[in-house]
Amino acid sequence: MTNSELKEFLDEKVELYNGIDFIENDPISIPHRYTKKRDIEIAGFLTATIAWGRRDLILKKANLLMELMDNSPYEFLMGADDGEWSRFEYFYYRTFQPVDLLYFLKALKRIYKEYGDMEVLFSQGVQSEGVKYAIDLFREMFFSYSPQERTKKHLANVMNGSAGKRVNMFLRWMVRDDNRGVDFGLWRSFSSKELYLPLDLHSGSVARKLGLLKRKQSDWKAVDEVTTKLREFDANDPVKYDFALFGLGVNEKF
């Protein structure tokens, strides 16, 4: 398959899967329950944090988490007192335990109090040295409030080579704006052309079969390699092909 044929094939799959029908059974359905920016951010970030494994279980736990936050994530976070944190003592999803969740909630609260917006931290990093640096900067600030060591594994360390699938997916949700109704396009301080593919088992497997990715390990070098290739097809919006690769892998068992 030539490059032009491959681009045409992938563009057709983006057209097929990048639509509102995609939302219902995907983790992005959780932040789509909200209309206010900060609610969408918080719901999106927490949902992305636990977005590995079976999608039905991810949705079940993410819905429970929103219920525990009275379905008003920002208002709950900013108003929660010491007594209200106890409602999360029995929340867990796989290795994401109550101690991890409580740290994540309190760290988010402090970030909103200190910076007013999650986007501020990410945009500072992007404008300085790009998305990879921005993810690292955000992680550094996020874990500056003395977490347990075990909690740090739940936010990717891309500088140590992690692919950062979940945080790249969160950034796709927040930044991309193509009027198709799936991604939110809430963050305007940087653009889709700077994003990286949320590389996971499915998208990596399809990318290798299509010749988009040669590296065998699914790490940051692989993310950089496949995103660089996808930028040849659309320099302004390379991660739109996440829909194609995911759809081919999950829906079509490509």
**Identity at 147, one-letter amino acid code:** P
pLDDT exceeds 90 at position 250: no
Closest CA to 56 of 93, 90, 21, 95: 93
The b-or-e profile of 53-84 (16+ CB within 10 A means b, else e) is eeeeebbebbeebbebbeeebbebbeebeeee
Please report which confidence band the pLDDT of residue 117 belongs to, taking 50, 70 and 90 as the band edges.
confident
Helix axes 37-49, 118-129, angle to 10 degrees: 70
pLDDT exceeds 90 at position 14: yes
pLDDT tens-place string over residues 150-193: 999 999 999 999 999 999 999 999 999 999 999 999 999 999 99
Closest CA to 170 of 150, 152, 184, 158: 184
53 Cβ neighbours under 8 A, 6+ residues apart: 94
Closest CA to 174 of 70, 76, 42, 61: 42
Would you say 174 and 41 are in contact if contact means Cβ atoms under 8 Å apart? yes
107 Cβ neighbours under 8 A, 6+ residues apart: 142, 143, 145, 147
CA-based diameter of the chain, in Å? 61
Q: How far is residue 237's CA from residue 206's CA, in Å, rounded to a whole number?
A: 19
pTM equals 0.96
Question: Containing domain of residue 181, as a range?
Answer: 3-251
* 3-state SS, one letter per residue, for 168-183: HHHHHHHHCCCCCCCC
Would you say 195 and 174 are in contact if contact means Cβ atoms under 8 Å apart? no
Specify the pLDDT at position 54.
92
Q: Tell me how many domains the chain contains.
A: 1
Give the bridge partners for 96, in sequence order: 93
Specify the pLDDT at position 55.
93
Specify the pLDDT at position 34.
98
